[in-house]
A = this chain, B = another copy of it.
Amino acid sequence: MVTTAAVLLAGGTGTRLYPASRSHRPKQFLALGDDDRSLLRRTADRAAFADDLFVVTRDSYADRVREAVPEATVLVEPAGRDTGPALAYAASEVSDRLDDAVMLCLPSDHVVGEGFRDTAETAVSVAERTGDLVTLGVEPDRPATGYGYIQPGADHGDHYAVRQFREKPDAATARELVDAGCLWNAGMFAWTPDAFLDAAGDGPLAPLVTALETEDGESADSAFDAVDPVSVDYAVLERASGVRLVPAGFDWDDVGAWDALARRADGDNATLGEALTIDAAGNVVASDDKHVSVVGADDLVVAAFDDRVLVVPVDEAQRVREVVAELRENGQF
């Protein structure tokens, strides 16, 4: 029987949730919403059915990962280079440690609803059965422009062929893609290490894959340093032939930016922490141990964490990137 190795990606920062996320407290360590567990811990719990648990992270987060997920094998990537190199590294490490494993690759900072295990086990089964790369696709509930889309091809019963990956679309295209039955690329995958490394050897990750296969730590490190940051979607999936698609049977939100909380609001305003709103609607009011009052203002994100406060219109929540860029430049992120 196949060994399922859950591989959690926990090397990112989730900068668009600043000031909740900071360089010293990336998003996966946050306990967003009603659940006291961090997003990382929830992901580990969700993947507990797997035979083995790995977490790929960067050196500076490694201790906290070990503390949050003591049952996991922590893989410290030689350098932060986005999901492509991280997953190549993970594939190499899993391959060294386990025979006949299928990797179930999961972001560690998403919010995922009920029904995850069924979909994940299907994806693992398809990956094992076909030897192909498998991606999970989430059914869109809106024509989002912030995600890539996957167009399903032939129906194979428990999965589809992938006809085409589509990059983050503009608003009009997003509507067309949703109407055409495309699914969101949610960054969750299943594959064997060999299938992945084979596919990765054919693109920008080729030098890294070669270095990893030499089993020489030093050359892997320097190959990591040499590779440009690149997403697994661009570096591997969009170039690979025969990618399979398993539709997700669960709710999903990547909580990528503060506007995600507005989508998840019950009442007039989405609140996290203590808030007082007077004649105010459509706001996201989020804080740690603070008390935030909003009077006579609509559709704003007001986020207060530690000694940092952010105000930005909800529909410009992505612009938090501009703040973070400026803060980084000043060593204040």
Contact B290 A326 (CB under 8 A): no
A206 at interface (Cβ–Cβ under 8 A)?
Answer: no
Q: How many whole Å from A99's CB to the nearest CB in chain B?
A: 51
Contact A313 B290 (CB under 8 A): no
Contact A293 B276 (CB under 8 A): no
Residues of chain B lying within 8 A (CB to CB) of residue A322: 278, 295
Within 8 A of B (CB), among A17-46: 19
> A interface, how many residues as a size bin?
20 to 34
Contact A326 B276 (CB under 8 A): yes
Within 8 A of B (CB), among A285-329: 287, 289-297, 300, 302, 304, 307-313, 316, 319-320, 322-323, 326-327
A332 vs B276: C-alpha distance in the bound complex, in angstroms?
11
A332 vs B275: C-alpha distance in the bound complex, in angstroms?
12
Residues of chain B lying within 8 A (CB to CB) of residue A293: 19, 308-312, 323, 327
Residues of chain B lying within 8 A (CB to CB) of residue A309: 287, 290-293, 302, 304, 309
Contact B319 A296 (CB under 8 A): yes
Residues of chain B lying within 8 A (CB to CB) of residue A296: 312-313, 316, 319
Q: How many whole Å from A315's CB to the nearest CB in chain B?
A: 9
A49 vs B4: C-alpha distance in the bound complex, in angstroms?
84
Q: How many whole Å from A289's CB to the nearest CB in chain B?
A: 6
Among B276, B294, B308, the residue within 8 A (CB) of A291 is: B308
Interface centre among A19, A289, A304, A319 (most CB of B within 10 A): A304
Chain A interface (Cβ < 8 Å from any Cβ of B): 19, 276, 278-279, 287, 289-297, 300, 302, 304, 307-313, 316, 319-320, 322-323, 326-327, 332
Closest 4 CB pairs of A and B: A295-B312, A292-B309, A296-B316, A293-B323
